[in-house]
C-alpha cells in the first residue's frame, strides 16, 4: 500500500502529470532556480524528479516554459558540458541575474523554496 504522500504520484500519469509539472515550473520566479525534486513535490508528484526531467526535455518548441530555472540537486546544472541546451540554460539564467560558478548555483542565494503544499489547483 503506497503512503499517502506517494498516492498522488501514482494516480497522476501521462498528460495530467505533465500539466502539473509545467504548472509548477511556471511558478518559479525570475531570478530563482529550484530542483527537479522540488518541482515534482510542488506538482504533487513526490519522488518523481526523473519524470520532471523527461517532461521538460520533451517540451514543445515555442512553449513559454521557464525550463532553465530547474536544476539538479545541490544546485548543479544537469545538462552536459558543451551541449546547446546547457549553453542556453546558462545564458538565460545569467540574463535573470542568476550566478553560475563551476556549473553550480548558490541555492542559499538563488534557490526558490515553495511551501510544502502542492501547487496543483
What are the E-state strand segments in 22-99?
Answer: 34-35, 70-71
Backbone angles phi, psi at 67, to 5 degrees: -55, -30
- What mean pLDDT value characterizes the chain? 85
Question: Which residue ranges make up each domain of the chain?
Answer: 4-110
pTM: 0.82
How far apart are the C-alpha atoms of 68 and 73, rounded to whole Å?
A: 14
Is the pLDDT at 117 greater than 50? The verdict is: no
How far apart are the C-alpha atoms of 1 and 65, rounded to whole Å?
A: 35
Question: What digits encode the pLDDT tens for the residues 63-98?
Answer: 789 999 999 999 999 999 999 999 999 999 999 999
Instruction: Please name the residues in contact with 83: beta carbons below 8 A apart, sequence gap of 6 or more.
Output: none
Is CATH 1.10.10.10 correct for 4-110?
yes
Instruction: Identify the bridge partners of residue 35 per DSSP, sorted by sequence position.
Output: 71
Amino acid at each position: 500500500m503506497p503512503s499517502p504522500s506517494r498516492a498522488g504520484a501514482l494516480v497522476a500519469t501521462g498528460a495530467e502529470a505533465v500539466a502539473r509539472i509545467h504548472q509548477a515550473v511556471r511558478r518559479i520566479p525570475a531570478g530563482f532556480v529550484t530542483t527537479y525534486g522540488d518541482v515534482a513535490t510542488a506538482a504533487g508528484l513526490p519522488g518523481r524528479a526523473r519524470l520532471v526531467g523527461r517532461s521538460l526535455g520533451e517540451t514543445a518548441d515555442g512553449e513559454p516554459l521557464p525550463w532553465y530555472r530547474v536544476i539538479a540537486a545541490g544546485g548543479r546544472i544537469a545538462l552536459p558540458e558543451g551541449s546547446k541546451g546547457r549553453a542556453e540554460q546558462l545564458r538565460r539564467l545569467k540574463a535573470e541575474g542568476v550566478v553560475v560558478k563551476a556549473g553550480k548555483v548558490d541555492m542559499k542565494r538563488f534557490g526558490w523554496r515553495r511551501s510544502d503544499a502542492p501547487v496543483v489547483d
